[in-house]
Amino acid sequence: PRVELAWAMKAHQHAQVYFNLISSVDPKFLNLTKVDDQIYSDFRRTFRELKIDVLDPEDLKSEPAKEKWRPFCLRFEGLVEDFNYGTLLRLDCSKDYTEENTIFGE
């Protein structure tokens, strides 16, 4: 629980920084890592059926989902700093970050 709380706090701090970035810069000119294009293409190839505009928590937290997410994240070990940190995600991308619309993805 303590470790999870520390990760959640760090994820919140990262989310604030990234939200400020994506809110102030046109996303087509923004790169968060040197391998953004690789991450995106691998993501689309690995999770072809995943609906990303409105997320279903089961697609992130269920055991079958975790079996896909773990190997996906491990591909970026050594390429992306904090590659295995959790992140705060909006369940519905058309809505703001709120308690009801946010999930912690590990």
Classified as helix, coil or strand, 87 is strand
Classified as helix, coil or strand, 70 is helix
CATH topology of domain 1-105: yst0336 like fold (1.10.3560)
Long-range CB contacts for residues 14-23, cutoff 8 Å, separation at least 24: 14/82, 14/85, 14/87, 14/88, 15/87, 15/88, 15/97, 19/97
Overall average pLDDT of the 5-14 stretch: 74
pLDDT of residue 3: 66
pLDDT of residue 94: 94
Q: What is the pLDDT of residues 41-84, one digit of tens each?
A: 999 999 999 999 999 999 988 999 989 999 999 999 999 987 77
Q: Is the pTM of this model over 0.85?
A: no
Q: What are phi and psi of 87, to 5 degrees?
A: -145, 155
User: Does 106 have pLDDT greater than 80?
Assistant: no
What average pLDDT does the chain have?
Answer: 86
Enter the tokens of residue 21: 């970035």
What is the C-alpha to C-alpha distance for residues 82 and 89, in angstroms, rounded to an integer? 16
CB 60 within 8 A of CB 69: yes
User: What residue spans define the domains of the chain?
Assistant: 1-105
Classified as helix, coil or strand, 102 is strand
